[in-house]
Amino acid sequence: MAVCPACGKELPGEFPFCPFCAAPLAEAAPPPALEERKVVSVLFCDLVGFTAASEAADPEDVRARIRPYHARLRSEIERYGGTVEKFVGDAVMAVFGAPVAHEDDAERAVRAGLRILEAIEELNEADPGLELQVRVGINTGEAVVALGAKPEQGEGIVTGDVVNTASRLQSAAPVGGIAVGAATYGATKDVFDYERLEPVQVKGKADPVAIWRATAARARFGTDLTRTHAALLVGRELELTLLRGSYERAVRDSSVQLVTVVGEPGVGKSRLVAEVFVHIDSLPYLVRWRQGRCLPYGEGVSFWALGEIVKAEAGILESDSAETAAAKLDAAVPADEADREWLKARLGPLVGVDSGPAAGHEEAFAAWRRFLEVLAASRPTVLVFEDLHWADDAMLAFLEHLIEWSEGVPLLLLCTARPELYERQAGWAGGKRNAATVNLAPLSDEETARLISALLERAVVPAELRALILERAGGNPLYAEEFVRMLKDRDLLVRSGGTLRLKEGTQIDLPDSVQALIAARLDTLSHERKALLQDAAVLGRVFWAGAAAAMGGLGERTVRESLHELSRKELVRPARVSSIAGEGEYAFWHVLVRDVVYSQIPRAARARKHRAAAEWIERQAPERVEDLADVLAYHYLQALELARAAGQSAEAAEFEAPALRFLLLAGDRALGLD
């Protein structure tokens, strides 16, 4: 709830004046951020030669022929979570990552591109006279995103150099091909096959830019299991013991056990599961291990994860024809099973085999459970369901059905999920017998340090370099890996003897993958929560609830509730003791989260927020401003520089006097301390 900035009372609604003290409120709440800076992937697709071919034709005929093409393009783009920004004649421009970012926007854009090429072929087959041909260009980079834009009314969502370059790549693409720029290539080179193309000249860029042609998607099966691990496992002894224990209980009691491993992205959930696999694989008897993943966007199949498991069990490949798949499914259902036909009919939809009219959930669940029980009865079985936070409600309902009803067979259900699973299903697996949850906390500093040494091939890592990565990783092994990889890829490390050093004057950026991951998590937040985080990010890694409340014109209760939710999402955490008496102190979970939030605020808004932060700090300790002079000087200087950079000279002039005053104070204080 909003509060009056003059009297501090909570406002029971929206008013131009405070109903308690009559202070004007129009200026109280700053306008919500209408723009954000974001990393997006832009896709251009243009028809080749169609404009020329249509010159002679009647415009109505042209429109009639082009319409199905536009509709098809839109649906392929939207299927992967992209937004069509505009159609210009025969060309379409689409954006992935705005208004809402996903951690894999570059991948989605390329998948959409490949789908578009397939769709064009289908359209040509359906209408032989059509002979459509396209070129696709995709580029990834930072852009300014207009949050409230309505593309259906012709309003642009993104602006920036990334758009022009994408358009240029499109015209450089081979006919019937997709050309991508370096950032898109870097983010997706493990997912697609690429060919290098001749570099192209782009307006406004001195050097030709490197481009690649995406040719095909690599299979996504088994990626998690077969992935090579960069370093030996560090820590996690207790968690591994617990998971092994759950497996042993399933075997000893012939019972179903469910374990959900929960933690933020990159903390090591999949790795922990892989380590359980290593252990189980080393046992002297055979265990059935099957793995399925929930996907963040629909391939039109719900129960995808379960489908993967059944496909793997039956040996069905994505490339199999429907008949082959049906034959393999037939072979996978035991011959002595009484209800063979019934089972096969219910399993069919999971593996893309058409098997007559669909059954209700209840019946399908019963059949699937029966199939899994049959498997587990023949030998101990572990079923892994990865990334359960993306599962749809029906998938979750099936797992609960399984744990509730299965009996008498050794079956371990091993699930991984991010904390947001609990937002959708607060009581996930709660109150179920044989269900456990393992919360994966960040690695300790000592463990992270060991991981960093291992990632740097056990070179002697000077304390300074280690501290630098340690701080950025914040106990997240994925972040540590990505930083080390970036330092290596960009050749920023020099080795002299056995010792590694950072090159002189190196500025360390955020790796693209980490930025994308964090930006996607931030976009799961409501606008209000995000605005709160933006205010907090201006205050720094550590901030106070009261400051965030004052900067956003919010009530204390609202802020407390928001911060509670943000802590549950592992974006911030409360400090046990506060450095300001009576003020709840919080810190960003990772300094990187703070950096990404901060980088998304447009410069002019950033300047305003720095001023608001300074004013709050001044109010806390008016008699002690000397002590805080350097913090205050920092905020006013930031405000000054940002306002200048945003071309707001009037605002900038306002910040000069306080910036100077606190700089001098800070200087005096430094001298006094000597």
Ligand X SMILES: Nc1ncnc2c1ncn2[C@@H]1O[C@H](COP(=O)(O)OP(=O)(O)O)[C@@H](O)[C@H]1O
Residues that bind ligand X (CB under 6 A): 229-231, 233-236, 263, 265-271, 416, 451, 477-478, 481
Q: Closest-CB residue for ligand X?
A: 268
Q: Which of 18, 251, 216 is nearest to 114 (CA)?
A: 216
Q: For the CB of residue 263, give the shortest distance to ligand X in the complex, in Å.
A: 5
- Closest to ligand X by CB, 265 or 380: 265
If contact means CB under 5 to 8 A according to the sort of partner, which of ligand X, Mg ion, none does residue 481 touch?
Answer: ligand X
- Closest to Mg ion by CB, 269 or 611: 269
- Closest to ligand X by CB, 339 or 457: 457
If contact means CB under 5 to 8 A according to the sort of partner, which of Mg ion, ligand X, none does residue 263 touch?
Answer: ligand X
The pattern of x and - marking residues 220 through 259 that bind Mg ion according to CB under 5 A reads ----------------------------------------
- Closest to Mg ion by CB, 170 or 260: 260
Residue given tokens 């790795």 in the structure block: 271
Q: Closest-CB residue for Mg ion?
A: 270
- Closest to ligand X by CB, 153 or 226: 226
If contact means CB under 5 to 8 A according to the sort of partner, which of Mg ion, ligand X, none does residue 477 touch?
Answer: ligand X
Q: Which residues contact 246 (CB under 8 A, 6 or more apart)?
A: 257, 259, 412, 436
Dist. CA 567–CA 636, nearest whole Å: 29
DSSP letter string over 1-38?
A: -BB-TTT-PBPSS--SB-TTT--B-TTTSPPPP-EEEE
- Closest to ligand X by CB, 320 or 386: 386
Is 219 in a helix, a strand, or coil?
A: coil
- Closest to Mg ion by CB, 270 or 515: 270
If contact means CB under 5 to 8 A according to the sort of partner, which of Mg ion, ligand X, none does residue 478 touch?
Answer: ligand X
Residues that bind Mg ion (rule: CB under 5 A) add up to a total of: 2
Q: For the CB of residue 239, give the shortest distance to ligand X in the complex, in Å.
A: 9
CA distances from 125 to 119, 132, 172 (A): 10, 10, 26
- Closest to Mg ion by CB, 116 or 294: 294
If contact means CB under 5 to 8 A according to the sort of partner, which of Mg ion, ligand X, none does residue 268 touch?
Answer: ligand X
Q: For the CB of residue 482, give the shortest distance to ligand X in the complex, in Å.
A: 9
If contact means CB under 5 to 8 A according to the sort of partner, which of ligand X, Mg ion, none does residue 135 touch?
Answer: none
**Contact 597/538 with Cβ under 8 angstroms?**
no
DSSP letter string over 517-533?
A: HHHHHHTTS-HHHHHHH
Options 246, 270, 302, 448; binder of Mg ion; rule CB under 5 A = 270
- Closest to ligand X by CB, 71 or 230: 230
**Contact 257/350 with Cβ under 8 angstroms?**
no
Cα dihedral angle (400, 403, 405, 411), rounded to 10 degrees? Answer: 140
Dist. CA 472–CA 448, nearest whole Å: 11
- Closest to ligand X by CB, 233 or 492: 233
Q: For the CB of residue 243, give the shortest distance to ligand X in the complex, in Å.
A: 13
Q: For the CB of residue 131, give the shortest distance to Mg ion in the complex, in Å.
A: 44
Q: For the CB of residue 196, give the shortest distance to ligand X in the complex, in Å.
A: 27
Q: For the CB of residue 444, give the shortest distance to Mg ion in the complex, in Å.
A: 21
Going by the DSSP 8-state scheme, the letter that residue 554 receives in this structure is: B
Residue 497 φ/ψ region, left for φ over 0, alpha for ψ in the -120 to 50 degree band, beta for the rest: left
Please give the structure tokens belonging to residue 84.
Answer: 């069509």
If contact means CB under 5 to 8 A according to the sort of partner, which of ligand X, Mg ion, none does residue 266 touch?
Answer: ligand X
Dist. CA 386–CA 374, nearest whole Å: 22
If contact means CB under 5 to 8 A according to the sort of partner, which of Mg ion, ligand X, none does residue 349 touch?
Answer: none
Q: For the CB of residue 382, give the shortest distance to Mg ion in the complex, in Å.
A: 16
Stretch that binds Mg ion, among 85-93, 261-269, 317-325, 507-515 (CB under 5 A): 261-269
Q: For the CB of residue 538, give the shortest distance to ligand X in the complex, in Å.
A: 29
- Within a 13 Å sphere around the CA of 412, how many CA atoms are in the beta-carbon half? 30
- Closest to ligand X by CB, 231 or 551: 231
Q: For the CB of residue 416, give the shortest distance to Mg ion in the complex, in Å.
A: 6
If contact means CB under 5 to 8 A according to the sort of partner, which of ligand X, Mg ion, none does residue 236 touch?
Answer: ligand X
CA distances from 620 to 306, 460, 625, 644 (A): 56, 46, 9, 28
Stretch that binds Mg ion, among 91-99, 262-270, 321-329, 512-520 (CB under 5 A): 262-270
Q: For the CB of residue 268, give the shortest distance to ligand X in the complex, in Å.
A: 3
DSSP letter string over 49-81?
A: SHHHHHTTS-HHHHHHHHHHHHHHHHHHHHHTT
Going by the DSSP 8-state scheme, the letter that residue 388 receives in this structure is: G
Please give the structure tokens belonging to residue 72.
Answer: 């098809």
Is 585 in a helix, a strand, or coil?
A: strand
Handedness of CA 453, 455, 459, 464 (dihedral sign): negative
Q: Which residue ranges make up the site for Mg ion (CB under 5 A)?
A: 269-270
